[in-house]
Amino acid sequence: AELLVFPTITIIPPRDWGEVDAALEKISYYDAVIFTSVNGVRFFFQRMHEKGMDISCLADASVCAIGPGTAARLQERGIRVDLIPDLFQAESLVEALARAGIAGKRYLLPRAAEARDVLPEEIVRQGGRIDVVAVYRTESAGSDGEKLKHLLQHKGIGVISFTSSSTVRSFMEMMCFP
């Protein structure tokens, strides 16, 4: 097989770090910090470092990760991951958190600016409190889709794989599918 890598998004910091910085200032307030992606891990700890903080500030919080890749990135930073759901999606994490009890607990969710709200909505519905802060955002990579369109029209591509919902959205926009 021949592999064609075609970036549809670029991952960049948020326009404003204000909400992230406010959450970091009260990091000891949270019972748990939830990471949903390796990008969330990268940008969150990058900002902690810029603020002169180290991982010891997370000593009293549980750390949750959706997926083994996200967990591995945390472990590479010396962070103990307390919870990885069986299925690597928000719904499965909510089920795992619910087994330990969500009511009355405080959560921090550093994530992409655009993401599904299943996790925060369910935590609130079950009596928990959650601060959602955007530690990164995605924007179109600005790639020229003409070569890709040509390959698709002439059946030069057999399989397309996407890494996130934002890559799908950007791909559809590039291919002029509103």
Each of the 178 residues of the chain gets a pLDDT tens digit; together they read 788 888 888 899 999 999 999 999 999 999 999 999 999 999 999 999 999 999 999 999 999 999 899 999 999 999 999 989 887 778 888 899 999 899 999 999 999 898 888 889 999 999 999 999 999 998 887 766 777 787 788 887 888 888 777 888 888 877 776 5
| Runs of H (alpha helix) within the chain | 18-25, 38-50, 68-76, 90-100, 118-125, 146-153, 165-174
Handedness of CA 6, 156, 145, 36 (dihedral sign): negative
For residue 177, what pLDDT is reported?
Answer: 64
The answer to whether residues 37 and 165 touch, using CB atoms and an 8 Å cutoff, is no
Helix (H) or strand (E) holding 33: strand 32-35
Q: Kindly list the strands in the beta sheet with 129-140, ordered across the sheet, starting from the edge strand earlier in the chain.
A: 9-12, 129-140, 106-112, 32-35, 62-65
For residue 147, what pLDDT is reported?
Answer: 75
pTM of the entire predicted model: 0.85
- For the beta carbon of residue 140, count every other beta carbon within 10 angstroms: 15
For residue 121, what pLDDT is reported?
Answer: 95
For residue 2, what pLDDT is reported?
Answer: 81
